[in-house]
Structure 1
Amino acid sequence: MSENRSASKLLPIIATLSAMGAAIAIWQTRLYHITRSGMSEFNSFCNIGQTFDCTAIEISKYSELPGGFPLSGLAIAGYLIILILSFFGLSETYRRKSRTYLLAFTGVALFFSLVYLFIMIALIGKLCLLCLCVDVINVALFALALKLPKEEASEGSGISLGHLAGTVLASMLVAFLFVKGLDPQGEVKKEDLDDLVESVMHTAPIAVPIPADAPMIGDPNAKVTIVKVSDYECPACKMGASAIHPLFKRYNSGVRFVFINYPLDQSCNPNVPRKMHEYACEAALVAICGAEQGKFLQTYETLFDHQADFATGKIADILSIIPGIDIQKLKDCTKLPSTAEKLKRDIETGTKEKLNIQSTPTFFINGKKVEGGLPTNLWVEIIDRMLKQ
């Protein structure tokens, strides 16, 4: 009787922890899809400092199985299996063998936690808060399974192989439905996405003149160069920025990103016949001056993140949230003739005689023109193919 009471206390805790683990795995699956569809934000709640970066984990090649199935989908299935087994353990009829199976599945979960912790530290160089929460849960689940009393042979018929197989299959089906249901690209045919990739790969490249002092992120000697021509007030450019943001974290070498300003407003761009984005020219000058202080990436992402706060003469003040930036120096910089000359040179790069920019954002990947941008996962596929060429 005391053993039954012990099990009745431990099994609800196991059930609760496995439900929590499943909830975290579902959230990780959502984050995986958001990151790879190009809908992620620049600053995720679990991106803290230089160490904790969920975006870097989710965009890495270690977050998925062949075929693009997220590892977190397997975690959903695993936690559901443990949850159902804990319910079996509460039943006098099916209690026998529940401890054995719980030890097996929680042991597998703990093993994968240790392996992935090694991958995060040694191969990715970042940690994920959600992954660490899962690790804590897996340690606790295995410890609780070890404390479960051994079943007596007389305790009911136990969990048959049929019950176990049904539990595994049902859990995998539910996990599959979550993975597919959380995918914002789920309604898009794979053939259509493949066609987009092939159209880029078969586009004839052109020579892209890159200003010597254009802002750059990544490997200066990269095999793949992506040039982004954009306008800081353009909503589509913000979407394009979100789509390539995870790429900065996936590719530590082999890829570089170059940025060219092309404000869509006649106040600074003679190629635009009318007034369109009234703050775009000022924002471009601010971005140039942010780069002068070695803060280009922070400036770039902050401006896109605060498009709604743009106001004449006030855009530089938005950057006050960036640590270490000198706002007065930046404001003085925006008024310098040399800054206006840099913007003019960027705009000239986008003219019909050179890049022939018709809309923003426009990307050039190794000279192949991509208008409007692509989802992050398609960028990954194209870049990986070019790196292998």
Structure 2
Amino acid sequence: MKRRHILLSAASLALVPLLPRLTPALAAGAETVDDSDRVIGDADAPITIIEYASLTCPHCASFHTDTLPQLKSEWLDAGKARLVFRHFPLDRLALRAAMVTDCLEKDRAFFGLLATLFKSQQDWARADDPIDALQKHARLAGLSEERFNSCIEDEGIMDGILATLEQARETYEVQSTPTFFINGRKVEGNRSYEDFAAILEDVQEDS
């Protein structure tokens, strides 16, 4: 239990600015993608969008409900870009929710539950019993109650998420959510589709 409190305390430090601003070389390293990453889009797409987000972040929910659908249609499905999602939980509930989504092995199921949780964020995150509300969404995504309970207590999954958070905070100076790296270019905060597309077009020209 003591170890878990230490790990959860690390998540609470995610917004503390400790480092100087990034050099372009460090920012460029943020676009590296490995087999453990969750990805929408063609692996060979010329533009890689890395997103750091928290499942309890209203601005992240706005991006996923208002901006991502058109971004997916115009850029991801067209093979012009791919989106990599990485957890950056800002609180304990976001960490628990991230652990549950990471129990879904297939990217399609993962992003399906992710979309549901962002769309219904106000309902489950503010429920009297948010874990019970979270479990109901997870059940619809195919996680049994037994599997849900196992996932939400899995320290291995927790360690992986917190390691991603710490790398983002310490190496890439991620301080808030959502934060994006578009072919290494750092973009902070939610944007309208029009603003996001303009950034992508600029990056495309530079590629």
TM band (smaller chain): 0.7 to 0.9
CA displacement, residues 153-211 of structure 1 (integer Å, 9 cap, x when unaligned): xxxxxxxxxxxxxxxxxxxxxxxxxxxxxxxxxxxxxxxxxxxxxxxxxx945320545
One-letter identity of the residue aligned with 1:318: H
* Residues 221 and 357 of structure 1, relative CA distance in 2, 3 Å threshold: same
Residue 361 of structure 1 deviates from its aligned partner by 0.8
Residue pair 2:179, 2:186 contacting (<8 A) in 1 also: yes
- Give the Å deviation of 1:362: 0.6
Q: Does 1:263 align with 2:93?
A: no
Q: Which residue of structure 2 lines up, in the alignment, with residue 248 of structure 1?
A: 72
Q: 2:135 aligns with which of 291, 310, 316?
A: 316
- The structure whose RCO (Cα within 8 Å, separation 6+) is larger is 2
Q: Is the 8 A contact 2:47 2:183 kept in 1?
A: yes
Does residue 280 of the first structure (1) align with residue 97 of the second (2)?
A: no
CA distance in structure 2 between the aligned counterparts of 1:291 and 1:304, rounded to whole angstroms: 19
Partner of 2:110: 296
Measured in 2, the distance between the counterparts of 1:336 and 1:372 equals 30
Q: Structure 1 residue 340: deviation in Å? A: 1.6
Q: As a proportion of its length, which structure holds more helix? A: 1
Other-structure match for 1:326: 143
Percent of pairs with identical residues: 26
Runs of 4+ in 1 over 6 A off after TM superposition: none
Which runs of 5 or more residues in structure 2 are unaligned? 1-22
Tell me, what secondary structure is at the counterpart of 1:369? strand
Instruction: Give 1:337's match in structure 2, choosing from 155, 160, 179.
Output: 155
Report what 2:58 is aligned to: 235
Q: Is the 8 A contact 2:39 2:107 kept in 1?
A: no
Shift of 1:263: 0.9
The residue aligned with 2:28 is 206
Report the TM-score, using the length of structure 1 for normalisation: 0.41
CA separation of 1:293 and 1:356: change in aligned 2, threshold 3 A: closer
The residue that corresponds to 1:365 in the other structure is 182
Q: Larger C-alpha radius of gyration, 1 or 2?
A: 1
> Which TM-score applies when normalising by structure 2?
0.73
AA aligned opposite 2:135? A
User: What is the alpha-carbon distance in structure 1 between the residues aligned to residue 168 and residue 197 of structure 2?
Assistant: 26
1:218 partnered with 2:44: no
